[in-house]
């Protein structure tokens, strides 16, 4: 058995693990060993479907030391007029560059792809079988937020022999048009599958979309972190705070958020029960609304050759129809993602500490590890923002994120570091506003004045949410 010594053993080389390692490299002189099961850096991006793109602008993603965005607005397509969304291949190439051009050349990072971590500092090569023991000072478990992806997951329903069934990864390999399509799953993956089919010429009437739960979504038009979109982006944040401060209950909260344009839904006659923070442009939403055969009969329990059995009914089908699996569900992986302290003795477990921003979270956790010594203080600064699943989860998620933001604002060095971290996205824009810019200052004052009221009311709304059984 080979033996190694290191300061940090990082298990998992996905986006969050990479962001953590990148910032730790800058902020310390520590040595790192990174172990991952995939052949290349990037985690689940290694097995993403060919047409996947980021749902938010590229400038929010990646590691702090290297830009991903081209800072170009799309000139065509359903994201026209908004900033670039990196493709899956761009993201995969980017993470490979980070490893090959930044981390490994430092001489302080040793990377072991195609390796299975067994625990107790031991990992095994998946190709050669060699076993390695790592003696470490701290373990970084960057696998906690590992997501279930279509290419690797096992569907939670039976599939009879003869059913024309495939993960959406295989859609680009079709050689002839089927009689129709059934898209199974209503999350981001299901949206992407439907949009890809529509953009490649499929008639909306040829698509049946099984939607177990409707979803609240975030308009991408208000997630543009550039000077040009200042009024729209921060005006939206001000409206959100005003809605949150006045809401009487969860339904009233969403009614106010929707009226202010802060959230959208597919069908205004059906109240969504899901919130996964999917970000969507108005043209994408209109395209998806063109699909009229939305099947709201619960989840699939069985695919048979001539019928689909759902919780609340049966749907006819045939071998001439392609059944597209987009059912890899966040709700099934949520139990393993339950929040735990980020810092516990010699174990660091990166998790989201800002809503929707796993890479910023990984980067900041590394900064806190480098500059603070007391675990209690570290965990106060890195309080976990729970991942949302149900519509009600918007409340504890937003409350935790706002409390974190307040705690960060009280720490001047940390506040300055955040402002200069490219993954932060917004602080540099707000800090650059001059007092004589009345329009922008008015928006920022609305946010400042309303934020405490929003926090107070979110606490009341949180009390209305039933405790999980």
Could you read off the pLDDT of 202-243 as tens digits, one per residue? 999 999 999 999 999 999 999 999 999 999 999 999 999 999
Bridging pattern class, strands 122-125 and 115-119: antiparallel
Residue 303 and residue 323: Cα distance in Å, rounded? 9
Q: How many C-beta neighbours within 10 Å does residue 252 have?
A: 13
Domains delineated in the chain: 2-147+333-403 (3.40.50.720), 158-214+265-328 (3.50.50.60)
pLDDT of amino acid 337: 66
pLDDT of amino acid 151: 75
**pTM of the predicted protein model:** 0.95
pLDDT of amino acid 324: 97
* Helix axes 358-371 and 412-420, enclosed angle (nearest 10): 140
Tell me the average confidence (pLDDT) per consecutive run of 10 residues in the chain, 469 residues long: 96 97 98 97 94 95 96 96 97 98 98 97 97 98 84 89 96 96 95 98 98 97 93 96 98 98 96 96 98 97 97 97 88 67 97 95 98 96 95 97 96 96 90 92 96 97 84
Residue 261 and residue 254: Cα distance in Å, rounded? 10
Cα dihedral 340, 346, 351, 354 in deg (nearest 10): 100
Long-range contacts, stretch 173-181, CB < 8 angstroms, 24+ apart:
174/322, 177/202, 178/320, 178/321, 178/322, 179/206, 179/318, 179/320, 179/321, 180/206, 180/207, 180/208, 180/320, 180/321, 180/322, 181/206, 181/207, 181/208, 181/321, 181/322, 181/323, 181/324
Residues with Cβ within 8 Å of 191's Cβ and at least 6 positions away in sequence, in order, are 278, 280, 284, 288
Nearest partner of 23 among 454, 377, 420, judged by Cα: 420
Residues with Cβ within 8 Å of 177's Cβ and at least 6 positions away in sequence, in order, are 202
Sign of CA dihedral 382, 383, 389, 390: negative
CB 95 within 8 A of CB 18: yes
pLDDT of amino acid 402: 97
């Amino acid at each position: 058995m080979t033996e190694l010594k290191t300061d940090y053993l990082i298990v998992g080389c996905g986006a969050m693990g990479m962001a953590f390692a990148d910032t730790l490299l800058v902020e310390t002189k520590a040595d790192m060993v990174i172990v991952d099961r995939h052949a290349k850096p990037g985690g689940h991006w290694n097995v993403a479907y060919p047409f996947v793109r980021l749902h938010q602008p590229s400038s929010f993603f990646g590691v702090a030391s290297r830009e991903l965005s081209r800072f170009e607005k799309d000139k065509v397509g359903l994201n026209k007029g908004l900033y670039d969304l990196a493709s899956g291949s761009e993201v995969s190439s980017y993470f490979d560059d980070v490893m090959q051009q930044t981390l490994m050349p430092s001489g302080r990072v040793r990377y072991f792809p195609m390796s299975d971590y067994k625990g107790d500092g031991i990992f095994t090569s998946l190709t050669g079988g060699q076993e390695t023991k790592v003696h470490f000072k701290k373990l970084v478990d960057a696998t906690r937020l590992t997501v279930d992806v279509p290419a690797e997951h096992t569907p939670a329903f039976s599939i009879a022999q003869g059913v024309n069934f495939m993960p959406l990864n295989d859609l680009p390999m079709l050689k002839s048009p089927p009689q129709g399509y059934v898209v199974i799953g209503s999350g981001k993956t299901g949206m992407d599958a439907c949009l890809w089919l529509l953009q490649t010429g499929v008639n909306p009437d040829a698509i049946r979309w099984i939607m177990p739960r409707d979803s609240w979504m975030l308009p991408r038009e208000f997630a543009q972190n550039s000077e040009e979109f200042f009024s729209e982006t921060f005006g939206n944040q001000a409206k959100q705070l005003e809605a949150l401060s006045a809401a009487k209950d969860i339904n009233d909260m969403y009614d106010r958020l929707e009226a202010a344009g802060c959230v959208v839904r597919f069908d205004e006659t059906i109240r969504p029960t899901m919130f996964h923070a999917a970000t969507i442009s108005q043209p994408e939403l209109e395209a998806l609304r063109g699909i009229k055969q939305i099947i709201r009969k619960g989840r699939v329990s069985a695919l048979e050759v001539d019928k689909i059995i759902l919780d609340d009914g049966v749907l006819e089908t045939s071998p001439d129809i392609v059944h597209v699996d987009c059912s890899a569900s966040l709700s099934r992986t949520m139990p393993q993602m339950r929040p735990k302290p980020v810092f516990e003795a010699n174990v660091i477990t990166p998790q989201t500490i800002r809503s929707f921003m796993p890479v910023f979270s990984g980067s900041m956790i590394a900064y806190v590890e480098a500059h603070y010594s007391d675990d209690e203080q570290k965990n106060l600064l890195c309080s976990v923002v729970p991942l949302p699943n149900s519509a009600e989860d918007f409340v504890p998620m937003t409350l935790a994120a706002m409390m974190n933001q307040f705690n960060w604002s009280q720490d001047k060095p940390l506040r300055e570091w955040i402002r200069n971290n490219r993954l932060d996205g917004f602080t540099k824009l707000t800090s650059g506003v001059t007092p004589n810019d009345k329009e922008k200052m008015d928006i920022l004052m609305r946010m400042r004045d309303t934020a405490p009221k929003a926090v107070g009311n979110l606490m009341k709304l949180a009390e209305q949410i039933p405790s999980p059984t």
